[in-house]
Amino acid sequence: MKIGFIGLGIMGAPMAQNLMQAGHEMIVRTRRKVPDALKGATLCKTNAEVARAAEVVILMLPDTPDVEQVLFGEDGVASGLSQGKLVIDMSSIAPIETKRFAAKINELGCDYLDAPVSGGEVGAKAASLTIMVGGPEAAFERAKPLFEAMGKNITLVGGNGDGQTTKVANQIIVALNIAAVGEALLFASKAGADPAKVRQALMGGFAASRILEVHGERMIKRTFNPGFRIALHQKDLSLALAGAKSMGVALPQTASAAQLMQSCAAHGWDQLDHSALVKALEQMAAHEVAPG
């Protein structure tokens, strides 16, 4: 298939590379240098040009305003679409705005899927992402071979917006797990235990998790290069809290994790990996999990 891909960042570049390796013709638009692995791709000057050339257009962008601008701004994707094409937004953005974007794309005679992902840079490179999809079943089936080139756990959750709702739920769980692992390792380290050995012991018990495995190691080794930046996770928790407010739902632990990330941002750490949330806990304790 001719695949348009807009947004070749930490996640987008390896996702596009996996699609190219699966045999698809790639048509890309990026403000960055095109990665060496995508040298065979066609580079377009505008988003509309991508939409005109591609059968399917995939977006992987930082936030809701970015998606809206790329879709509907000057020389946007919408202005280059023709009937029967498919737009897939794999960014993590607001569910309510996603429904509005989908309706506008549908008016052009095109299908729209929201398909945010989980798994971070590691999952993007390994083509093992979890992909949470919202949209029509027929469009999902059409896109499924593309999803299978990028991920492993692929689920059609429901209609447009439901994929984004699932991603917000995912980000709540991830944030709270990072905070829990950070507190546990900080507690163990302050008590005089070796945090690396504590983590090793916990990996064999009921507390075992992917967060303890990957981000626990990051906390111990102090490898906070992203990954998935705190700034982006802050955005996702803001979506969760805004949605909760509109529904009259209390999310106290989510709010707590959001405040820890805000503390990190205040210290200039928001471009670090979200495992660096532990730094806010360490500051309060005047102790590091594993001093450098």
Residues acting as catalytic residues = 167
Q: What is the C-alpha separation between 66 and 157, in angstroms, rounded?
A: 24
Structure token digits, residue 144: 């499924």
User: What are the C-alpha distances in Å from 124 to residues 13, 240, 289?
Assistant: 9, 24, 28
Q: How many CB atoms lie within 10 A of CB 204?
A: 8
Closest residue by Cα to residue 4 from 99, 69, 71, 68: 71
Query: What would the DSSP string read from start to end of 105-172?
Result: HHTTT-EEEE--EESHHHHHHHT-EEEEEES-HHHHHHHHHHHHHHEEEEEEEESTTHHHHHHHHHHH
Do 16 and 70 meet the contact criterion of CB atoms below 8 Å apart? no
* Residue 100 contacts residue 64 (beta carbons within 8 Å): no
